[in-house]
Structure 1
Amino acid sequence: MLKRSALCLAILSALAPLSGFADPPAVDALADITVMGSKTDRTSAGEVDGYQAFTADSATKTRTPLKKIPQSVQVVPNKLMKDQQVQSVSETLRNVSGVVPNNPLTIPGWEATLVRGFSAEQAQDGANLNYNLGDRESTVNIERIEVLKGPNAVLYGGSSGTPVGGTVNLVSKQPEKEKFGKVGITIGSHDLLKPSFDLNQPLSETAQLRVTGEYTQSKSQVEGMERESYNLNPTLKLTDNAKTTLTLQGKTSRWEGQDYQGLPATGTIAGDFKINRDLFLGNKDLPNSTSALDSLAANLDHQLNDTWSVAAKVRTANSDFDEKGQTLIGGDGFTANAPTVGSSWGVTNVNVYQEQQDVSVTADVKGEFKTEKTKTEVLVGVEHSTLDDEGFMDTDGAEVVDLTNPVFALPYTDPNTAFRWAGKVANKTSGVYAQAQHSMNDRVHVLGGAKLAKVEVVYADSFGADENTSETKLLPRAGVVVDMNANASAFASYSEGLRGVGWANYSDTPKPIESKQTEAGIKFSANQQLSGSVAAFQIDRDNTGIPDPATGGMTSLPNGAERSKGAEVDVVWQPNPGFSLTANYAKTDATYTKAAGAIPAGNKLAGVPEHSGRVWGNYTFKTGKAKGVSVGAGVYAQSEAMLTGSNDFKAPAFHTVDAKVGYETKRFETALTVKNLTNEQYFERFNYFSGRVAPGADRTVYLSTAIKF
């Protein structure tokens, strides 16, 4: 397997997915145009041609051509998601270089996506999703995903502050003027049942309504696990069709299922005995854990005149999760890399409950100025947000279980001990920001901006801690793109971020996390067929949380310092209207830059493969008897990844192969998809408990069918 994975990585590095940076078509009118014989769609989310995206909103808060943005921004269009028949947001993010997504076996109780080795924020239409609770993996309401790499303090804040690693922006489907609908169902391995719908209904000339929804029920390759989730997404757009638009977005989302705790390193990827890779740790009568999110956002856009416009957004959200599990205690505490004795571990009941209330407000003014040889766009705005995040953690009861012949006899009961830990983190953020984009002779494109940001963190817990930290800092952002010729542009940029901390049990006063990124690269396009980018980067972060060795990792020290540097390649090739290929490759070196706790400087960060990438190709027959038939296949591969910051265990390299065949007409579509076609047996780092692993998904088969009207 290791040789085959190495071969796949070599192929990826030679080729190298994602979003193209071809010149965008003119955007003076909202109409369809033809590029190289294929149709370029203009949607509310931006211009796309198949797998190529020409513009993005996430990087600048303005509809900007990707080739004019001096920073890595990758876009996953809906067409690519549809061709791959992705079943989750996490699976979709494999299409972006340098991204390590959430593990689908974890409960939605925190956000663990990594971009360039560091924690990234997930956002919905620019609003931070915090722990990303509820049915977070659903793609039914996503028009496209824009991934902004590195900090972008000027434009993004709210909740806990500005991103310090990157932003995964989930761009929602918006109401449209024409009536349409789609109702579908997906069935598959492990008793998967997933009905869904997407209904767009114009109410009048000035009001449009769109509602999407999805329900998922499935079992798992892990013994005895069952999961259930749903989400409902109504969006109402009110407009005068001239200057003013008010968009109201609602979301209600629920998830429930057994709490998966992962497997220890010893007995899976190390040790002289073997644990069943599909073992579920815990009593078969373990109650379900739950995760929920309810949110409402209001977006107002108003065009004052031909030069100036204003925009404002208010979002409020309530979320919570209740984790009821049974976890391991090993010779090294709750990390449980090593057994207590022989092949046996201690098992204890654990209950973690957490709830959040989040309110954020942003408002900005945009101006656009043109001369014969220049174009300038300015953006000035303010933001303010509050996030109250509180909960408790408790453990109780114990038994010893031999995991090579497990019998979990300890019944689950909610712990309620005298040593229950309870805590609260209250983050308050505010900022004033300004940004200018200036193009000269349509060859040199300069981007500059700054935010005066303030982050306040109030932390208290049941063990007597009562701390208040406040940080105010001017966060700059600057970059330049120079068009070397009609097909290639060079760019360089610098940006900073400042973010408050989330709920955790801290051993010392938590501090806002700070980050700095420098980046340079080339963006290219050739004849609207081959496009992409090559980038080199370095990110430094300070005040990050690390496990405190004095408490066996149960508490965190806020004094970590880390660095990530590397190079990435993202490519799209569409030689004709029927064939599309996307490829990516990333080399990431993420390390601790100073000793922290028991972790020495120079150690690699957990969960970050040095090499990773994906190739996917799809061909659709456009004429003849096979018209509407499509076939696709792809491979994802990554090198080994450390399980912990102490670098004592590492998950081996792996690769998987996917394939699909589909058929689509104007009113009907269906697809048969096989994930992990060769049924590779591998383990991934489990991004919850440090030092544990989870089995990679086995071969799974999906059949999706939908009717359009």
Structure 2
Amino acid sequence: MSFLCRKFEPVNYCYTLCLLLLAHLTVFAQTGAIKGRISSADGQPAPYVTIGIKDTRKGAITGEDGLFVLKNIKPGNYVLVISHTGTKTLYETVVVNSNQATEVTFALEATSSQLNEIVINGSKSGTVNKKPLSIGKLPVPAIDLPQGVAIIGHEVLEEQQVQRMSDVVKNVNGVYMASSRAGTQESFNARGYGFSSTNMFKNGARVNSGVMPEMSSLEKVEILKGSAAILYGNVAPGAVMNMVTKQPKFNFGGEVNVRAGSYGLFKPAFDVYGPLTSKIAYRVNGTFETADSYRDQVHSKRYYVNPSLVFKLSDRTELLVQGDYLKHDFTPDFGIGSLDNTKIADLPRNSFFGTPWQYAHTRQTSAGATIKHQLNGNWSLSGTFSYQNYNRDYYAVERIQADATGKWGRPLNRAYNNEDYYLAQADLTGKFKTGGLEHNVLAGVDGDRYYTAAYSYNQPTAYDTINILQPGLYTPRTDMPEASRIRSVTTPVNRFGAYVQDLVRISPKLNFLAGVRFSYLQNEAPRTLDYKTNVSTLAAAKYDHAFSPRVGLVYKPIETMAVFASYANSFTPNNGLDVDSNALKPSVIDQYEVGVKNDFLGGRLSVNVTAYRIKNNNYSQTAPFQKDGVTPNNNTNLKALIGETLSRGVEVDIAGHPVAGLDVVAGYSYNNITIENTTGTTGGSIAGERLVGNPNHTANASVFYTFQQYKIKGLKLGVGYYYIGQRFSGWNNTIGQSQKYNRLISVPGFSTLDISAGYSVGRFGLIAKVSNVTNTYNYYVHENYSINPIPPAQFTGTVSYKF
């Protein structure tokens, strides 16, 4: 079902949206709220403390800052029940008045160090199902949302010593790394569909996926599976990812650590936070990283810093200002290559076929501000502005496509890209009642602008010839050819969206969600400047707009179980041109999702099962060949619509802390994405083929246990397992293709096993890991020319001191 509009009437739409918002604001229930701070006996914030109202189901859990809010409470006298594992439960009387927030502060009997020990040794409060997601925008627990979610917290990030995002997604079923093209970036798929820059966010703002983001600054990583189009607009189907950085605190503390490992890894890092005044707090974290590689002649160096400030402008208003700077210099590496475009070359893991001089310099800088204002006990308003600059300077030989004998003419590519990105968004959330129905409303608008410049150079197309199977047959060149700019293409893109969504609590057991988004996309005319003639030319501009609806139902037969079903329709614009230089039509996507979420063992363990069906009516990918159907295409702006794709699958997610000291993350996913309903004519895709880059099966398990007693108290042991099944690389076949060989290259599945051990005493900590213990040899493959071997068995260790 397509919701593409033929006519855009912004005045009428905005008028209707304003009426909806005014209607919601005029039906405020006469309720109040309780907000406050829980501290330890020594005055430090107390996180993970459970706050409940006696004889009701209302409750909350304090955050890292010890703060909590209980909303939508009728006026009257209540008894707060304040509990934390291992401490004495407090009972405190409070009075709630209409349209007011009652502020309270309470102190537990334990000190901050005792609370930390309790949290480490005991069970952390709340499973993934009980936590709200900032990426979900509604302040409701995940169990109330009709779609699958995953949250990877800082405990897991630290225990696993994650270096890159690929280490994080191993903990998330249905999301997996599809390729690592030239080692320049990690590309992820979710439920069969590829991520892009539109699907990756940091603190709610899109980030360019052309860099490998820094992990040391993250508090958690959130994955919202299924459709997110109503919240974020023109995203690809499957899932969206949000990286949440560490936030300022009003108590002084921090950490310094040093990580070292195999192949010259050295990474010192720092994290310091605290108050500047009673109303202003800061946090600064950063790192430097240098490393060689198991790949010959490959090096990497990174610099990163992440400062932030929070301002308590009033009791109801908070302003968060953040910055982010990452510089990454490294060697582009296209791996070991393919032979005759039909198979992977059988070569040692360390084989490198680049030049001594090739380089890639990337830089990502961002700054943003978020303001949150509590209008009253039920309604809140937030606004965000963000700016980001992405810059890449690249020069290398690339695309290792040798003939059957190993002979390869090395091509050159010189590129420079610069992107400026601006985002502004505002969200209004609130609760009110109409009769016996309780509404949890989200309404908002967002707009962003990309301004991208890509530069072309006059470097030679061919560098030299070598043989990847018999290196001694040729003498490779080692000089760097001259290259100067000859052309630039600037592409401005503007997007606007307005959305409204209502999660209706029909009864304590039944929730209904409905919403709609209007998206408007303007690709301004790309401008090409020829530096030789100083003549500019404009291509055609392109405009797309659509309504994206979403409905869902959540049924709770018992308090600890939720059964859900949802449907969403959205569209994704397809950038680029086809081989005839025509603009591509957008893709219309239908997503269906059903599942069940369960909490066991008193809320200490969640087990969720989800099934889905996603249909894309017009899937776009880089065209494998130019217009003649024979010449390989090296222009990523040249695209092809291969037909409809259909993705079906099932996921099982397990996470929690079933017993004191035990952390568990595990799961399994099955996905089958195939090409459907093709034209059936020459040049069309073959119906029934599995889409390249996607395995049918993935599985993961991570188990860490910290000993609680005796002389080995504080000792931590862990094991991690990851499996990705057989998948195809290369290109999907077409009817009547001129290439007589099968263009699909089968890549076998593989498993890796990691083991970890650590020990903490007082403020000091040590953790070490041996990854890929079995020294498994396999690949991540991009199309048929960037075949990057996975790392061998290697060691990583981190020493830390917390203050």
The equivalences for 1:279-358 within 5 A come to: 279-286=351-358, 288-328=359-399, 336=401, 339-340=402-403, 342-358=405-421
CA distance in structure 2 between the partners assigned to 1:704 and 1:607 by the alignment: 34
Name the residue aligned to 1:657: 753
**Structure 1 contact 152–496 (Cα < 8 Å) conserved:** no
Give, as a single letter, the amino acid of the residue that structure 2 aligns with 1:648.
L
The Cα of 1:142 is off from its aligned counterpart by 0.7
Q: Deviations over 1:176-212 (max 9, x none)?
A: 1111010001000000000111110210111000011
Contact 2:248 2:309 survives alignment (8 Å): yes
Judged with a 3 Å threshold, the aligned counterparts in structure 2 of structure 1 residues 536 and 28 are, in CA distance, closer, same or farther, namely closer
- Cα gap change, 1:100/1:425 in structure 2, threshold over 3 Å: closer, same or farther? farther
Equivalent in the alignment of 2:492:
426
Listed one character per residue, the Cα deviations across residues 231-264 of structure 1 (whole Å, up to 9, x for unaligned) are 1111110014510001111111110111112332
| Partner SS state of residue 184, structure 1 | strand
1:112 to 175, 187, 195: 187
Partner of 2:504: 438
Contact 1:523 1:533 in 2 (8 A): yes
User: Structure 1 residues 599, 691: closer, same or farther in 2, change over 3 A?
Assistant: farther
> 1:101-150 deviations in whole A, cap 9, x for unaligned?
365674446x62211111221100111113343xx342111111111113
Match of 1:413 among 475, 481, 490: 481
Q: Distance in 1 between matches of 2:117 and 2:382?
A: 25
- Partner SS state of residue 166, structure 2: helix
The AA in structure 1 aligned to 2:700 is R
Residues 1:585 and 1:165: Cα distance change in structure 2 (over 3 Å): same
Please list the CA deviations of residues 254-278 of structure 1 after superposition, one character each: whole Å capped at 9, or x if unmatched. Answer: 101111123323399937x733332
Q: Which residue does the alignment assign to 2:156?
A: 80
Shift of 1:465: 7.0
Q: Show the counterpart of 2:348.
A: 276
Deviation at 1:666, TM superposition (A): 3.6
Query: How far, CA to CA, are the matches of 1:535 and 1:496 in structure 2?
Result: 19
TM-fit CA distance, 1:513: 4.1
Q: 2:443 corresponds to which residue?
A: 380
User: Matches of residues 624-635 of structure 1 in structure 2 within 5 Å?
Assistant: 624-635=710-721
Asked if the contact 1:498/1:512 (under 8 Å) is kept, the reply is yes
Q: 1:291 to 1:228 in 2, by over 3 A?
A: same
Indicate if the aligned counterparts of 2:328 and 2:361 stay in contact, CA closer than 8 A.
yes
Determine the C-alpha separation between the residues in 2 that align with 1:39 and 1:89: 31
| Contact 1:33-1:41 at 8 Å conserved across structures | no
Deviates more, 1:122-131 or 1:274-283: 274-283
Q: Tell me if structure 1 keeps the 8 A contact 2:576–2:584.
A: no
**Structure 1's 493 and 421: CA in aligned 2 closer, same or farther, altered over 3 A?**
farther
1:15 aligned partner = none
Give the 3-state SS of the residue equivalent to 2:398 in structure 1: strand
1:385-404 superposed matches below 5 A: 385-394=448-457, 396=460, 397-404=462-469
Pairing 1:55-66 to 2, within 5 Å after superposition: 55-58=131-134, 60-66=136-142
Report the equivalent of 2:607: 532
1:573-610 Cα offsets, whole Å, 9 max, x none, are 53311112221111111222254856423222222111
For 1:353 and 1:429, locate their aligned partners in 2 and report how far apart those are by CA, in whole Å. Answer: 25
Greater gyration radius: 2
Question: 5+ unaligned residues in a row in structure 1: which ranges?
Answer: 1-22, 330-335
User: Which letter maps to 1:122?
Assistant: M
Distance, in Å, in 2 between the alignment partners of 1:643 and 1:87 is 26
Q: TM-score, normalised by structure 1?
A: 0.87
Instruction: Verify the 8 A CA contact 2:441 2:503 in the aligned structure 1.
Output: yes
| Per-residue deviation, residues 397-447 of structure 1 (Å, max 9, x unmatched) | 332111013353153325448xx6753332211011101112233211121
| Distance in structure 2 (CA, Å) of the matches to 1:322 and 1:107 | 15
Write the letter of the residue equivalent to 1:572. Answer: A
Q: For the residues of structure 2 that align with 1:52 and 1:35, how far apart are their CA atoms?
A: 18
Other-structure match for 1:130: 208
* Post-superposition offset of 1:322: 1.5
Aligned amino acid, residue 534 of structure 1: V
CA contact (8 A) 2:577 2:639 kept: no
- Give the 3 Å change call, closer, same or farther, for CA 347–252 of structure 1 in structure 2: same
Quick one: distance in 1 between partners of 2:116 and 2:522? 46
Q: What SS is found at the alignment partner of 1:67?
A: helix
SS in 2 for 1:677: coil
Structure-2 residue corresponding to 1:20: none
Q: Output the CA distance in 2 between the equivalents of 1:505 and 1:199.
A: 51
Match of 2:649 in 1: 566
Q: What secondary structure, in the 3-state scheme, does the structure 2 residue paired with 1:567 have?
A: strand
What is the TM-score of this pair, normalised by structure 2? 0.77
Map 1:391-540 → 2, pairs under 5 A: 391-394=454-457, 396=460, 397-406=462-471, 407-409=475-477, 411-416=479-484, 422-458=488-524, 460=526, 462=528, 466-501=539-574, 507-526=581-600, 527-540=602-615
- Partners in 1 of 2:571 and 2:210 — Cα distance? 20
Q: Map 1:180-191 onto structure 2 (within 5 A).
A: 180-191=253-264
Distance in 2 (alpha carbons) for counterparts of 1:376 and 1:263: 57
Count the aligned residue pairs: 664
Counterpart residue type for residue 696 of structure 1:
I
Change (3 A) 1:226 1:56: same
Cα distance in 1, alignment partners of residues 492 and 578 from structure 2: 14
Q: For the residues of structure 1 that align with 2:283 and 2:159, how far apart are their CA atoms? A: 23
Secondary structure of the residue that 2:167 maps to in structure 1?
helix
Aligned counterparts of 1:295 and 1:131: Cα–Cα separation in 2: 14
Which amino acid in structure 2 is aligned with residue 27 of structure 1? A
- 2:105 aligns with none
Q: What is the aligned counterpart of 1:554 among 630, 634, 652?
A: 634
Which runs of structure 2 are paired with 1:164-313 in the superposition (5 Å)? 164-240=237-313, 242-266=315-339, 270=343, 274-286=346-358, 288-313=359-384
1:366 to partner: Cα distance: 1.6
Is residue 27 of structure 1 aligned with residue 60 of structure 2?
Answer: yes
User: Cα distance, 1:41 vs. partner?
Assistant: 12
Question: Which protein has greater RCO, CA pairs closer than 8 Å, 6+ apart?
Answer: 1
Percent identity over paired residues:
24
Identify unmatched segments of 5+ residues in structure 2: 1-51, 69-81, 88-113, 531-536, 733-742
Between stretches 297-306 and 546-555, larger displacement belongs to 546-555
